[in-house]
Chains A and B, each alone.
Chain A
Amino acid sequence: MSPAELDLILEQALQLRATGVALEACLERFPDQAEALRPLLEAADLAAAGLDAATPLPTPDLARGRARLLAAARPDRSRAPAPLWRWAMASLVAIGLILATGAASTRALPGDLLYPVKRAIEDARFALAGEPAAREALRTEASGLRQAEVEALIGLGREASLVFEGVVEDATPSTLTVSGIRIGGDHRAEVGETVRVGVRVTSEGVWLENLTRIAAPPARPEPTVAPETRVPIATSTLKAIATERSATATAADTRFPDATPIEATRNAAQTPLNVEPTAPPDQPTTLPERPTRAPDQPTAVPDRPTPEPPRPTERPSPTPERRSP
């Protein structure tokens, strides 16, 4: 007999037992399988007895369990999610704050609380700009912003440090122009290089603190900005500074008698691009107290002094680009 046949016969015997047929009478119905069926049917009887199948069930008190269940099912107000309108209100407030902060940050100057926000927004826009043209447009925009910041700082007479990237548009041994900003300080940068500069803006001008090369100039180094299209520090700003300086006859002019001044505009003929140092490296550059004028093209502010970069000995600069003595 196959196991499946015995399974079926056991089921038939169990059905007989369930209808009240006695064990022995049941086994007589299946004489060939009686020996195999007996222990199984006895086990079934024991199971039914052990599980108290014949005994009527007590009347349960299910009310307690029901109350527990309903208590658990009731929404817990303290854990319930906030209503939709509350989320919407919170989101609107958050968005408003972000927009207000972003808008306010656009006017921030270096040293202001929101200035890092302004720069972070710029960085984010740059990171999100996929197209090279879009990146270039943002670079141009950032250059304009840095220039405006420098002008504003000088105009306010506020000192602040500023870090920005740009292309070296002009360079002499002790000055360079990056993103239209004239910076005083010794350096080794070359025209056309992309650099990151840290500068200190003072009422006297913009001073190089450090410089890092980011990219070499293109194969054919050419000025990235034509001299006639360069945007120097606003003449009006420099005029104001110069007026203030001449009125007070500041000691700054005499503090750095041999430093190269920052000029309002730069004459390409006067300071050609890629110019070699005019003095040997082991000698400090000695320059007149006032900017040298080109014979045929005066500076934009001819009668007023302009800020001068400090001497290395008097104003130590952390720049790694400083020439060895």
Chain B
Amino acid sequence: MSGPASDPDRRAPLSTEETNLLRRLRANDLTAVAELHDRFAPAVFAYVYRRVGEQRLAEDLTADVFLKALEALRRDQFAHTALVAWLYRLAHNRVVDHFRRQRPQMTLPDDHPAADDVAAESQKRALHQAVRGALSRLTDDQQQVIALRFGEGKTASETARLLSKTEEAVWALQHRSLAALRRFLEGR
């Protein structure tokens, strides 16, 4: 694994509102469960969809993420960080698990298009497959920083908060991640 480990001291703190929601979730308050889903499911779906590229699959994986979250809350296995950061982490794990069960396609086809020439739908699908295949070969932290920064459009500062890292650590991590992604896309 490359990159510094997550720093517990840099975890995004829970807001008062999140703390209250968490307390109600632990009490198995159904309205709290519904609120958790309604507030965060769109963001989780977006993250998952960017990774897998299929709407139905992304919806199913998103549902899995929330079921996993509910199970973790019942076991008191909450990471004590901002709920969105925790859910992104669960979503990442679910996506990685999904790709592990599939045979990833590691390299671009011979006639792969340039980044600025992805108009044709077939070429676009090929690019998606190639990038997602290469991403799956990165470390967990590298996958997450690429997904958050270039899939979700998060800033380095936001990414640092979600990954419980310093901003400088995210700069270094994205540098290594892009270098590795390039190597894998080139088939090395």
Please report the C-alpha to C-alpha distance between residue A4 and residue B132 in the assembled complex, in whole angstroms. 28
Q: Assess whether A280 is interfacial by the CB under 8 Å rule.
A: no
Which A residue's beta carbon lies closest to that of B71? A72
Which B residue's beta carbon lies closest to that of A17? B150
Q: Note all chain B residues with C-beta closer than 8 A to A39.
A: 178-179, 182
Which B residue's beta carbon lies closest to that of A7? B171
Please report the C-alpha to C-alpha distance between residue A60 and residue B179 in the assembled complex, in whole angstroms. 33
Please report the C-alpha to C-alpha distance between residue A14 and residue B156 in the assembled complex, in whole angstroms. 10
Beta-carbon contact of A65 and B50 below 8 Å: no
Beta-carbon contact of A45 and B63 below 8 Å: no
Beta-carbon contact of A53 and B50 below 8 Å: yes
Q: Mark B146-185, 1 if CB is under 8 A from A, else 0.
A: 1101111100100000000000100110110011011001
A:37-71 near B, CB below 8 Å: 39-40, 42-53, 57-58, 60-62, 64-66, 68-70
Beta-carbon contact of A65 and B172 below 8 Å: no
Q: Assess whether A90 is interfacial by the CB under 8 Å rule.
A: no
In whole Å, how far is B71's beta carbon from the nearest beta carbon of chain A?
8
Q: Note all chain B residues with C-beta closer than 8 A to A14.
A: 149, 174
Q: Which of B59, B127, B179 contacts A50 (CB 8 A)?
A: B127
Q: Which of A18, A49, A69 contacts B37 (CB 8 A)?
A: A69
Beta-carbon contact of B175 and A65 below 8 Å: no
Q: Assess whether A11 is interfacial by the CB under 8 Å rule.
A: yes
Beta-carbon contact of A60 and B62 below 8 Å: yes
Q: Mark A150-172, 1 if CB is under 8 A from B, else 0.
A: 00000000000000000000000
Q: Assess whether B34 is interfacial by the CB under 8 Å rule.
A: yes
The segment from B4-12, B15-23, B39-47, B80-88 found at the interface with A is: B39-47
Q: Assess whether A73 is interfacial by the CB under 8 Å rule.
A: yes
Beta-carbon contact of A10 and B174 below 8 Å: yes
Beta-carbon contact of A47 and B70 below 8 Å: no
Q: Which of B58, B168, B182 contacts A4 (CB 8 A)?
A: B168
Q: Note all chain A residues with C-beta closer than 8 A to B13.
A: none
Beta-carbon contact of A50 and B130 below 8 Å: yes
Q: Which of B41, B55, B67, B153 contacts A72 (CB 8 A)?
A: B67
Q: Assess whether A316 is interfacial by the CB under 8 Å rule.
A: no
Which chain A residues have a beta carbon within 8 Å of chain B's beta carbons?
3-4, 6-8, 10-11, 14, 18, 39-40, 42-53, 57-58, 60-62, 64-66, 68-70, 72-75
Which chain B residues have a beta carbon within 8 Å of chain A's beta carbons?
28, 30, 33-34, 37-38, 41-42, 45-46, 49-51, 53, 55, 58-60, 62-63, 66-67, 70, 115-116, 118, 124, 127-128, 130-132, 134-135, 146-147, 149-153, 156, 168, 171-172, 174-175, 178-179, 181-182, 185
